[in-house]
Amino acid sequence: MADTTGQSHEGKGGVPAAKSSKPSTDSGKTVLIGLAGGIASAVAFTLYQRMPEEQRERLHEYARSVLAARLGDLRDGLNL
C-alpha cells in the first residue's frame, strides 16, 4: 500500500507496519523497576531494624498522624 508520497506503509510480508513497542524491552524495564524497589525496601527494612526503640515509636506516631490526616482529607472530599 503506497501513500501519495510513494512511500510504503507495509512491514515484512505485506502486513501493515504498526507502532512496535518491543515487549522484551518493556518487560525488562518492569523487572528492573521491581528489582530496584525490592532493593530499596530491603535497605529501608534493615535501617528500621537498627533504629532505637524510641525512634521507632516516633516513626509510628508520625505515620499514624499522616494517615489520619489523609483519611480526614479523603472523607472531606467524599462528604462522608
Tell me which residue of 28, 30, 27, 9 sits closest to 19, measured CA to CA.
Answer: 9
- pLDDT tens-digit series, residues 50-65: 999 999 999 999 999 9
The CA–CA distances, whole Å, from 32 to 21, 25, 39, 61, 77 equal 17, 10, 11, 33, 36
Whether the pLDDT of residue 12 is over 60: the answer is: no
Rounded-to-integer distance, Cα 12 and Cα 7, Å: 14
Q: Specify the pTM.
A: 0.50
Rounded-to-integer distance, Cα 60 and Cα 66, Å: 10
At 26, is the pLDDT very low, low, confident or very high (cuts 50, 70, 90)? Answer: confident
